[in-house]
Structure 1
């Protein structure tokens, strides 16, 4: 593409994992508004919000790089000197408002009564500059607005490097009595070296009861360290019931986006399996290696485990989709078309807004231009849940858009057909929805997520990739019989947690990892 893309998208999670996510003001009763009253309330809110004149909006380019604390040195994303100059908080807030007005997908739904002077920082000002509208199910239409320190963002998105124990926490219940489990661990991480396995439950953090304790600040601090070398004490209960107390020290952890690539023998022939956790730049090489391995094994079907994949690079999603399918269905087809606001803020010709099904590598982590291997499958099974988001949903939607059968086994996906072209200004990267992605058939309306073909609860009693794990076992069975488990079966729809059934995530991770990113390879 001629347009120089930057980054995109993410699902917002609670800033504090163990405290509630605010959903806006309400009456003292704390009850839910009847759905029938929502359209009328929205109309009243819009009239009130649009009644007051807005402060003047300037072109973002006129105040870009005017910073209260200008950076010096070289920007690793561009290879050029940082463009920062001396400016003020008001300059930074003016840039935010101008950039939102120019590029936000729903710029005309942003309340006009808001005033920058009521917000102390550019980030606080940015946080309210979004649509107040709701989806058909009553969820916020824009649940994805967020910011990130630019240096931290660059480290994770390009290199897959994060600071922590190497544990992906699953909050099966974030309020007391809490149920906090290990979803999986990263290889060679502090957690893996300590022998911590999937399904392990947290009982205590730095002496605070993790199940019923009220000191959520200490709990959050111990579960999610932010500095390398930070140490915390955790009392854990393993799946076999044994308990132990460990001191874990946070380190720089290299995330492995693709794990557990294997072939499983079935009566219908060999079935491939891969655990795909992140659409990072490093995933490109890992996915190519995985497909080559499965192709050599002669698989007849494929199960992709994306239950914890929040998304990432859209080009990587396109590469994976091409490798799964055949040239007969993808040649000349659209993987995803990006629909922007009526201002066409990036001045794109129609062809420039199309992401094709890539047939060669993009150069993220393998040499550019290499022919991608093909499995040539007409169907694929995807293990899903409420943490399957954004670029992962693009894989599902775009394969369906060219006639590939995609069976979903697990829970409803998160519902994020939107993406960002995030923008750095003064050391903060701003993520604001700027496009909706639609497939080859023009479909992209899944703001409430994709429903599973077979509803199956997440199974923390078995390792991921174990053929006995509930979701994988169901996928294998469904491939052979075309029949979902009976509702009364264990780990099936009857035991789905409310969060899984309604697409509410239970992993707590950086919004960067819940993303739909478009990026120029370096």
Structure 2
């Protein structure tokens, strides 16, 4: 088998790991911004002196929660020595205090070192990670420019949702949201309206949009009501180029993706494909072990046996033992069996995975390609499998976390970084095709072609620019003229503007941009 017995046990308990003591404290946490300041408490604070986090765990009075966060961060945060130690009693709310428990340093290119610090109500985290459920209208928005003059385009829609039922599709550009000019809105109040409309945090939110079809310039006004949306993590499974090339769109490493991935690779194996193109341009990440499964199904046993997919490295307090599970540190190997991430797995855990036994793979990427998706790239490169990147630079996140619950809130705080079989993991500015012309970041250059996202055609269309470039590169080894540009969305250095940015500030959107490990 390609995974150790220790990893196998840990993985089998993933359902427990994600929920991590859901019983909580009954009355919920004090993460809300209306929590009052702490007064009259006997808990003391001495700068640089930390009690064990277990002394405060699941004690849901606000000051206790803050002391738990302080100690837990000092124990497990990857850059714990870069956190300024502040008296928890002097920060009004738990959420405000948690926001301070991270590094403020930047990378060589000017991006924030940690742009992934977030939290989420545990019930919402369970729904998102286990079932792919979020609130929305069923369309995904690509923010090409988040500040004025803005540009936002529908990147794809989910079937049987308000968006698809109104015949909205990839390539519809946003002009107005509830009467506010999306492109030119300049005040915080206007941008608050844009954000509330585009990124609803509950069901039943009715929003009126004005869209323009970029192919026809036709405008359409539609009113949509938000609902719970179950995303399809794997779609568009097909063969191209007379059946010799497999293709599919892979949107998220969430629990429900495991069976569709298994089916996709089985179907492509039955079709005897000799090459594979995986469209991960909007895949922000998720379960690291699922990334290792995908890499195994691409490369097969001959290319992965005995090789490490990713070594997890914690802060310097923990060189030998995992600070979260207490187990001796062992690498994540290329996983060759069905794990059973979902609450009710569709297959028996331990079922062998199919594999295509390929020595190369084509990956379509953008700045929204993040974390566990980047781990696929790095893990395969460490195993000497040729990765050909078509698109634009990835987000740059070699880091991950254990989703940790305290008082009905789940926290996402960077706890480890990863290295492949060749001890490489320095890609904080992402991976980018070798002919990328953007010099604002310092990515790891990868064989392939810089190609801008093409919203004029649907995903999976052989004439869509990225997919077309991948097919042509396979045939003749040449690239079109470099057309990829640095995204102003995601985790690149912020663009300079005097106007506030449109952004999805829901913690769920940040949680997606991560590598997640299960807890014992």
TM class, shorter-length: 0.7 to 0.9
For the pair 1:307 / 2:281, whether they are aligned, the reply is yes
For the pair 1:288 / 2:275, whether they are aligned, the reply is no
Tell me, what secondary structure is at the counterpart of 1:233? strand
One of 48, 69, 74 as aligned partner of 1:101: 74
Hey, what does 1:321 align to over in structure 2? 295
RMSD (Å) for aligned C-alpha atoms:
2.2
One of 207, 216, 241 as aligned partner of 1:232: 207
Hey, what does 1:64 align to over in structure 2? 57
Tell me, what secondary structure is at the counterpart of 1:471? helix
CA distance in 2, matches of 1:168, 1:380: 26
| Alignment map for 1:405-420 (pairs within 5 Å) | 405-420=386-401
CA distance in 2, matches of 1:7, 1:106: 23
Hey, what does 2:65 align to over in structure 1? 92
CA distance in 2, matches of 1:502, 1:151: 27
One of 260, 265, 287 as aligned partner of 2:241: 265
| Alignment map for 1:451-466 (pairs within 5 Å) | 451-452=432-433, 453-466=448-461
Hey, what does 1:46 align to over in structure 2? none
Tell me, what secondary structure is at the counterpart of 2:394? coil
CA distance in 2, matches of 1:193, 1:247: 12
2:140/2:155 contact within 8 Å kept: yes
One of 336, 340, 346 as aligned partner of 1:366: 346
Give 1:218 deviation, angstroms: 1.0
For the pair 1:517 / 2:516, whether they are aligned, the reply is yes
Hey, what does 1:147 align to over in structure 2? 119
Tell me, what secondary structure is at the counterpart of 1:294? helix
1:411/1:503 contact within 8 Å kept: no
One of 186, 191, 195 as aligned partner of 1:216: 191
Tell me, what secondary structure is at the counterpart of 1:228? coil
CA distance in 1, matches of 2:53, 2:142: 39
Tell me, what secondary structure is at the counterpart of 2:194? helix
For the pair 1:241 / 2:217, whether they are aligned, the reply is yes
Hey, what does 1:385 align to over in structure 2? 366
CA distance in 1, matches of 2:262, 2:493: 31
For the pair 1:173 / 2:140, whether they are aligned, the reply is no
Give 1:500 deviation, angstroms: 7.8
TM-score scaled to structure 2, two decimals?
Answer: 0.82
Deviations 1:5-25 (A, max 9, x none): 6359xxxxxxxxxxxxxxxxx
Give 1:347 deviation, angstroms: 6.3
CA distance in 1, matches of 2:283, 2:201: 22
Deviations 1:259-284 (A, max 9, x none): 11111115xx6111110000011111
1:55/1:115 contact within 8 Å kept: no
CA distance in 2, matches of 1:470, 1:502: 24
| Alignment map for 1:408-447 (pairs within 5 Å) | 408-447=389-428
CA distance in 2, matches of 1:426, 1:95: 11
One of 333, 341, 346 as aligned partner of 2:324: 346
Tell me, what secondary structure is at the counterpart of 1:325? helix
TM-score scaled to structure 1, two decimals?
Answer: 0.82
CA distance in 2, matches of 1:197, 1:162: 19
Tell me, what secondary structure is at the counterpart of 1:245? strand
Hey, what does 2:333 align to over in structure 1? 356
For the pair 1:399 / 2:380, whether they are aligned, the reply is yes
CA distance in 1, matches of 2:181, 2:106: 37
> Which runs of 5 or more residues in structure 2 are unaligned?
1-6, 20-44, 434-447, 495-501
| Alignment map for 1:50-61 (pairs within 5 Å) | 54=47, 56-61=49-54
2:77/2:315 contact within 8 Å kept: yes
Number of aligned residues: 448
2:58/2:406 contact within 8 Å kept: yes
- Structure 1 residues 445-454 or 412-421, which shifts more? 445-454
Show structure 1 runs of 4+ deviating over 4 A: 2-5, 347-350, 500-509
